[in-house]
Structure 1
Amino acid sequence: MADTPTLSVTMLGAGQEVGRSCCVLQYRGRTIVCDTGVHPAYSGMASLPFIDELDWSTVDAILITHFHLDHAAALTYITEKTNFRDGKGKVYMTHPTKAVHKFMMQDYVRMSSSSSDALFSPLDMTMSLASIIPVSAHQLITVCPGVSFTPYHAGHVLGACMFLIDIYGLKILYTGDYSREEDRHLVKAELPPIRPDVLIVESTFGVHTLEGREEKEARFTNLVHSIIRRNGHVLLPTFALGRAQELLLILDDYWRKHPDLHSVPIYYASSLARKCMAVYQTYIHTMNSSIRSRFAKRDNPFVFKHISNVPHTRGWEKKIAEGPPCVVLASPGFMQSGPSRELFELWCPDSRNGLIITGYSIEGTPARDIMTEPEDFVTLKGATIPRKISVDDISFSAHVDYSQNSEFIEAVKAQHVILVHGEQAAMGRLRSAMTSRYKERDEDVKIHAPRNLETLHLSFRGERVAKAIGTLADKPVKTNDILSGLLVAKDYSYTLLHPRDLKDFAGLTTATVTQTQRIVLGVGWSLVKWHLEGMYGSVEEGLDNDGVPTMRVMGVLDVKLTAEHELTLEWESSSSNDMIADSTLALITGIDKSPASVKLTTHPHSHSHSGEEHSHPHADPEIESSSNLRIQRLAMFLEAHFGEVELHMPDPSEEPEQGESDSEPLLLVHLDEAEAQISLISLTVHSSNEALKRRVEAVLDMAVTTVSSLAESFMSTAPVVVEDGPPAKDKSSTPAADENHDGNKSPEAEEAVADEDAQMAKSEE
């Protein structure tokens, strides 16, 4: 449809890059923003998404998937430094995300306050935290009329979720960072039960496939053990939260199984991680069954037996560097500054030491640069030092690889797939691979890989689904069943319900409009019934509550004989009922003009008193009724061939004089100036026009075959009066002796018709 509204998707960050995730969704005047992160490779204003491209006062909701800085750290700047608060926008994240986000932002403010390009103050951060609304997984949240969302577990880190967003019936699934692998403490990402129209999914690893979890853990622990055996120090740059907790669980379990390592300390150099351990223990119920079962047995998995914090003393880095072998988990993971950078510069010149990159490294960060194993490295103070430390990459990044991502994308079955959070080359390879997979199966799925500030305009088929509730939902519906009820539309969602349920479910009431129409009746009641049955099939005949003769048409329209010459039509008004009423009204008003209606009139020469007709005083009513019916059928047959037919009935109160032709009942057929008389007793035809006579005889012959002989009826009883009434089929009719039993004309009848046609043609010449 030309006026179908379109969904606009604009990436203010994470478009063909990893970092500063910020996705803007606009549909039917509503605006939703998913994630507001900073870019770890930049600082100050350069690290922010392209926030100037959006009027933030128009935003209805900001949804934060998880607490990592590249997805959440720009939130304070947006809420406190833009016009966001001029609108009615709200900020949502899960309960664990909000709890950890507070500590993450405090640390972020502390680290950036010493620089000249700090984005906001501690007060701004506190004000921003107060405006966050925490939500739970699987909770349906209504943001405003027409906009709602439901969070689903995404794996990745504690509290991470993907959002299934509904904007006026259009469904969008935004994954954020997600993992389809259950690790040591987290559940894997869920597959939402509802098929979305659009899937916005990360593409961090492109088409790269990671090794299996067991093999990866074994390789990691063996590598750590080998570095310690050579009297080296092991540096594990990690984020303070997320993968750090996973690695701590792996190392603590490995140390428990190897007593020879009990003398080797494991440190995690992050006061932030220490603060957040309480949060992890609070939200045990959101983790996997292994963690929950251990906690239920009073075995707190986050009370580590072989791991401790680094000593809070000045120069602890040098003391550890000069001490015996140890393992240190230090933040930040990208090694821009902080403990991970300081320890790396101290341990870099010694070949006994080992650096293990355990997460995804963003382009432009020291962690990515060191993976190329350069011979020299420049310190934060500008000095150049030799790089002798061993460098290994064992990714414990909780992102999906190609096999997991492609499987999830295909399972979601969205019409449009938008790739985000991936470097240009990796994203391009994933797009090509997915396009080829869908092309092989001949599936029409569009794969998009937008750049930053590139707006996608997506349109969709106008297909809507109505949910049947209440009485209509009591019985199971079979395939091809048709449900009828009231369609209630609210915010572009549709509900089908029975009218009597309207008040309970929608708080509304119903009203019934009854219409009546009176018309003058010029024909008999039975003739009306005959025409109604011919049009609508059977009709229900009876009496209404007031004893008025009534016929019900199509189960919705009552035709009442309210007076001697008056009909009243009555029905409950609706689009379908009104059409039935209109067609019935047109049918009844045209009965007297219908060729199928026999107008039974009295011949001008017939005898009557005061317009009244009388039946024979000794006539059998049953025989009389049967005779009348047969006369009507015979007249209808003739009328179909010659037009209007007149019935001439004698007056039974007068004795006919000898030789008087008016003493027998006749049917009179007129054709132009000629007239033919049909005796209903002898079934003979008299006419001065021989051609008309022969034609009437042929038609009468066919009529007798169809209707059956009427002669015996009139021979056994006196003439009767025929009242207005409908012609009807006679199931008891029998073919005449000289007719074929299949209803065809006899040879004599066919010869008569042929002779008559010839004479008619001659007379016309």
Structure 2
Amino acid sequence: MAETPTLSVTMLGAGQEVGRSCCVLQYRGKTIVCDAGVHPAYSGMASLPFIDELDWSTVDALLITHFHLDHAAALTYITEKTNFRDGKGKVYMTHPTKALHKFMMQDYVRMGSSTSDALFSPLDMTMSLASIIPISAHQLITVCPGISFTPYHAGHVLGACMFLIDIYGLKILYTGDYSREEDRHLVKAEIPPIRPDVLIVESTFGVHTLEAREEKELRFTNLVHSIIRRNGHVLLPTFALGRAQELLLILDEYWRKHPDLHNIPIYYASGLARKCMAVYQTYIHTMNNNIRSRFAKRDNPFVFKHISNVPQTRGWEKKIAEGPPCVVLASPGFMQVGPSRELFELWAPDSRNGVIITGYSIEGTPARDIMTEPEDFVTLKGATIPRKLSVDDISFSAHVDYSQNAEFIETVKAQHVVLVHGEQAAMSRLRAAMTSRYKERDEDVKIHTPRNLETLRLSFRGERVAKAIGTLADAHPKTGDILSGLLVAKDYSYTLLDPRDLRDFAGLTTCTVTQRQKIILGVGWNLVKWHLEGMYGSIDEGLDKDGVPTMRVMGVVDVKYTAEHELTLEWESSSSNDMIADSTLALITGIDKSPASVKLTTNSHSHSHAHAHGEQSHPHADPDGKSSERIRIARLAMFLEAHFGEIEFHMPDADDDDHELGEDEHGASLLVRLDEAEAQISLVNLTVSSANDVLKKRVEAVLDMALTTISSLSEAFVSGTSDVADDAALSKDHVDAGAESMEETEDSEAILEVIA
């Protein structure tokens, strides 16, 4: 019985929680880790995934979906503080992700170095960056034998991707964070063209449905404008990268359309974002058509007209807080520390001010606590202050909501769905809703919600059996018989059937494509046949249904003499037939350049006679099959032609079809011309006659070499043939005997062909 392979899925983070995403996939001795983030609500070692539960030296590849800290910030700790480097594991992320990850980690290290909870040093971070392999969307990456993956656009943030992973044929789609809605600068997440066996998908919003983008933007800009009208300050806690760029595009456009707001400044309180803006402009080509078209018109969308960075001077927060109304986008989005937290504490006691939470807030962070609108708030220094500013929540989080997520899950059609990156309650509601949808359609799809450190084991049949049905099932094959047909796969069932049964059993149809290729014919029909036989063996020759002379090559390709000086190749297209047709075409188009196609010219009488009778002057294409003497003469002519150029061949009497060469003592001969001199070689006694003694001696010497070569190969010539130049008396019987011997000796034929 075949072993049943099992896929193990272990969540070291993001199992029934949002944060520290880290998913371990193990199958047939291979290990893939997807994402390595920290938990924003914790600090130090507590923020890391449960990394002690894995031997990191066994990891073959670590794939990072995007640069957000909850998906990538633990990478440095894993590469520099575990035994990851003891193995052969490699780290992969897209080019934009690597570029932005560098700045994110520099900022993360700077913030952590001021506390005792620092996980690693700036040097560790630099060393980790050097080990990252950047990749492009849609690029097929082979990690090692048995493991490959392809990244696809995931939306969410610049450079974010989902991974379609292939481990020994088992296909797993890991989405990371993704968005199915195209916004002002990002493309929406793609649906991979290949159906995976397992889908590991985020469940951040559970069954919650978000409002439409246009309505959300209108509500957001109206709310900002209303706070400004009441002479208040607007605080927008955002992360430095990601949704912040979307909000900047919205605000810059709104300010451009409202001149009354031009005196109200918009500040972007993030040095990190300022440094990263160059990266955004570098990867314009990865964004949507709106951004690309504006950039092509030299209208750079990321050069903002109404937005500026705050001056990086000490105490700027108080200066802005005490100044006139303004809008400030400040990081971090969860408001644990930093500019967003400091501005909130300064503005909280004033009811004219307002804070708008624009992203998803993780449980346990100040941003989530503020959404409950508490009356009091504890500052970072431990003091309690009143909270009077308004609190609103308009989510621009680039995650899928319930309808988008459900549609994606159903479109992907994986047999197993694993929900990750969602709080327990939201994840449970999504699982119940999806189970109900599948039950209504009577579809057997398994939905899993593993907790952290809970290993989910999914079994897949190692041996897949195909059932023969229809015509193929009529006869019972014996052991060793080969059964040929079409393999049709549906879900996990396989069926083998005859193509004729395809419509009845699968509802599909087949078609036959007939290909035709016309060729200009520059040689004789018989010469074409001779070359085809030499390459493919026997050739079926006859007439087609329209009476056109046809030769069939290997039973699949028809070569038709469709018109004077024209051939047509015709065949039913298939992978094997196309290869035969290609080789046939190459052979025919090269006939006139082939060394074996020696063009022997004749006098005008014999040449015109041959064409009048439909014959080919080439001796290898003699249609009556009695060509042994002509083969001998042709090869002798080839030898001479190699030394003297074109040789003329003269026949004694072209009107006598039964005439044998050599019966007339003044019969067949070869004529050699060199400049103004001529030499004639009698094919009866192989003597040379010429008025030019120099040419005569040269031809005799070449003829001597030719006959010596032929004699040594055929083993039938007399030992004195090397003396032809002296006595020139080789008898016709000896010549005929040599020809017969050459016909009987295949090796001699082959060697002479090479010499020719």
- Pick the TM interval, shorter chain: 0.5 to 0.7
**What one-letter code is carried by the residue in structure 1 that aligns with 2:6?**
T
2:441 equivalent to 1:437:
no
> Which structure 2 residues correspond to residues 498-537 of structure 1 after superposition, within 5 A?
none
Say whether the 8 Å CA contact 2:486–2:497 is kept in structure 1.
no
**What one-letter code is carried by the residue in structure 2 that aligns with 1:56?**
W
Q: Report the counterpart of residue 349 of structure 1 in structure 2.
A: 349
Per-residue deviation, residues 648-701 of structure 1 (Å, max 9, x unmatched):
xxxxxxxxxxxxxxxxxxxxxxxxxxxxxxxxxxxxxxxxxxxxxxxxxxxxxx
Q: Report the counterpart of residue 95 of structure 2 in structure 1.
A: 95
Cα distance in 1 for residues equivalent to 2:498 and 2:276: 57
Cα distance in 1 for residues equivalent to 2:487 and 2:454: 45
> Which structure 2 residues correspond to residues 305-316 of structure 1 after superposition, within 5 A?
305-316=305-316
Cα distance in 1 for residues equivalent to 2:147 and 2:24: 14
2:105 equivalent to 1:110:
no
Among the aligned pairs, what percent are the same residue? Answer: 92
Aligned to 1:298, the other structure's residue is in SS state coil
Aligned to 1:186, the other structure's residue is in SS state coil
2:257 equivalent to 1:257:
yes
Cα distance in 1 for residues equivalent to 2:53 and 2:34: 15
Deviation at 1:464, TM superposition (A): 6.4
Per-residue deviation, residues 115-163 of structure 1 (Å, max 9, x unmatched):
1121000000000000000000000000000000000000000000000
Cα distance in 2 for residues equivalent to 1:63 and 1:477: 34
Cα distance in 1 for residues equivalent to 2:216 and 2:464: 46
Deviation at 1:477, TM superposition (A): 10
**What one-letter code is carried by the residue in structure 2 that aligns with 1:73?**
A
Cα distance in 2 for residues equivalent to 1:165 and 1:396: 30
Per-residue deviation, residues 70-99 of structure 1 (Å, max 9, x unmatched):
000000000000000000000000000000
> Which structure 2 residues correspond to residues 47-66 of structure 1 after superposition, within 5 A?
47-66=47-66
2:67 equivalent to 1:84:
no
**What one-letter code is carried by the residue in structure 2 that aligns with 1:87?**
G
Aligned to 1:70, the other structure's residue is in SS state helix
Q: Report the counterpart of residue 145 of structure 1 in structure 2.
A: 145
Per-residue deviation, residues 245-297 of structure 1 (Å, max 9, x unmatched):
00000000000000100000001100000000000000000000000000000
**What one-letter code is carried by the residue in structure 1 that aligns with 2:190?**
E
Q: Cα–Cα, structure 1 residues 465 and 210, in superposed 2: closer, same or farther, change >3 Å?
A: farther
Unmatched segments (≥5 aa) in structure 1: 467-474, 484-554, 556-765
Cα distance in 2 for residues equivalent to 1:482 and 1:172: 32
Cα distance in 1 for residues equivalent to 2:239 and 2:287: 19
Q: Report the counterpart of residue 28 of structure 2 in structure 1.
A: 28
**What one-letter code is carried by the residue in structure 2 that aligns with 1:44?**
G
Q: Report the counterpart of residue 160 of structure 2 in structure 1.
A: 160
2:331 equivalent to 1:335:
no
Aligned to 2:150, the other structure's residue is in SS state strand
Cα distance in 2 for residues equivalent to 1:477 and 1:104: 50
2:191 equivalent to 1:191:
yes
Cα distance in 2 for residues equivalent to 1:411 and 1:119: 41
Cα distance in 2 for residues equivalent to 1:377 and 1:146: 55
Cα distance in 2 for residues equivalent to 1:41 and 1:158: 24
Cα distance in 1 for residues equivalent to 2:232 and 2:134: 45
Deviation at 1:447, TM superposition (A): 0.3
Q: Cα–Cα, structure 1 residues 109 and 465, in superposed 2: closer, same or farther, change >3 Å?
A: farther
Q: Report the counterpart of residue 216 of structure 2 in structure 1.
A: 216
Aligned to 2:191, the other structure's residue is in SS state coil
> Which structure 2 residues correspond to residues 116-127 of structure 1 after superposition, within 5 A?
116-127=116-127
Cα distance in 2 for residues equivalent to 1:268 and 1:419: 35
Q: Report the counterpart of residue 399 of structure 1 in structure 2.
A: 399
Q: Report the counterpart of residue 274 of structure 2 in structure 1.
A: 274
Cα distance in 2 for residues equivalent to 1:465 and 1:92: 36
Deviation at 1:3, TM superposition (A): 1.6
Aligned to 1:332, the other structure's residue is in SS state coil
> Which structure 2 residues correspond to residues 270-669 of structure 1 after superposition, within 5 A?
270-462=270-462
Q: Report the counterpart of residue 228 of structure 2 in structure 1.
A: 228
Q: Return the index of the structure with the highest Cα Rg.
A: 1
Q: Report the counterpart of residue 547 of structure 1 in structure 2.
A: none
Unmatched segments (≥5 aa) in structure 2: 467-484, 489-494, 500-554, 556-756
**What one-letter code is carried by the residue in structure 1 that aligns with 2:187?**
V
**What one-letter code is carried by the residue in structure 2 that aligns with 1:363?**
E
Alignment TM-score, normalising by the size of structure 1 = 0.61
Q: Report the counterpart of residue 130 of structure 1 in structure 2.
A: 130
Q: Report the counterpart of residue 240 of structure 1 in structure 2.
A: 240
**What one-letter code is carried by the residue in structure 1 that aligns with 2:433?**
A
Cα distance in 2 for residues equivalent to 1:461 and 1:59: 25
Deviation at 1:52, TM superposition (A): 0.2
Cα distance in 2 for residues equivalent to 1:117 and 1:464: 52
Say whether the 8 Å CA contact 2:147–2:168 is kept in structure 1.
yes
Per-residue deviation, residues 480-517 of structure 1 (Å, max 9, x unmatched):
7659xxxxxxxxxxxxxxxxxxxxxxxxxxxxxxxxxx
Q: Cα–Cα, structure 1 residues 381 and 410, in superposed 2: closer, same or farther, change >3 Å?
A: same
Cα distance in 2 for residues equivalent to 1:170 and 1:313: 55
Q: Report the counterpart of residue 5 of structure 1 in structure 2.
A: 5
Cα distance in 2 for residues equivalent to 1:312 and 1:235: 18
Alignment TM-score, normalising by the size of structure 2 = 0.62
Cα distance in 1 for residues equivalent to 2:330 and 2:29: 46
Deviation at 1:476, TM superposition (A): 11
Deviation at 1:340, TM superposition (A): 0.2
Per-residue deviation, residues 362-387 of structure 1 (Å, max 9, x unmatched):
00000000000000000000000000
Per-residue deviation, residues 574-601 of structure 1 (Å, max 9, x unmatched):
xxxxxxxxxxxxxxxxxxxxxxxxxxxx
Cα distance in 2 for residues equivalent to 1:143 and 1:108: 30
Aligned to 2:388, the other structure's residue is in SS state coil
Cα distance in 1 for residues equivalent to 2:346 and 2:406: 42
Deviation at 1:7, TM superposition (A): 0.1
Cα distance in 2 for residues equivalent to 1:464 and 1:165: 21
**What one-letter code is carried by the residue in structure 2 that aligns with 1:425?**
A
Per-residue deviation, residues 155-189 of structure 1 (Å, max 9, x unmatched):
00000000000000000000000000000000000
**What one-letter code is carried by the residue in structure 2 that aligns with 1:398?**
A
**What one-letter code is carried by the residue in structure 1 that aligns with 2:393?**
D
Q: CA RMSD in A?
A: 1.8
Per-residue deviation, residues 336-385 of structure 1 (Å, max 9, x unmatched):
00000000000000000000000000000000000000000000000000
Aligned to 2:457, the other structure's residue is in SS state strand
- Structure 1 runs of 4+ off > 6 angstroms? 463-466, 475-481
**What one-letter code is carried by the residue in structure 2 that aligns with 1:346?**
L
Cα distance in 2 for residues equivalent to 1:12 and 1:454: 9
Deviation at 1:461, TM superposition (A): 3.6
Deviation at 1:312, TM superposition (A): 1.4
Q: Report the counterpart of residue 711 of structure 1 in structure 2.
A: none
Cα distance in 2 for residues equivalent to 1:280 and 1:62: 25
Cα distance in 1 for residues equivalent to 2:2 and 2:385: 65
Cα distance in 1 for residues equivalent to 2:48 and 2:2: 37
**What one-letter code is carried by the residue in structure 2 that aligns with 1:247?**
L
Cα distance in 1 for residues equivalent to 2:387 and 2:464: 62
Deviation at 1:460, TM superposition (A): 1.9
Cα distance in 2 for residues equivalent to 1:254 and 1:124: 43
Cα distance in 2 for residues equivalent to 1:241 and 1:116: 26
Say whether the 8 Å CA contact 2:2–2:463 is kept in structure 1.
no
Say whether the 8 Å CA contact 2:3–2:462 is kept in structure 1.
no
Q: Report the counterpart of residue 526 of structure 1 in structure 2.
A: none
**What one-letter code is carried by the residue in structure 1 that aligns with 2:304?**
F
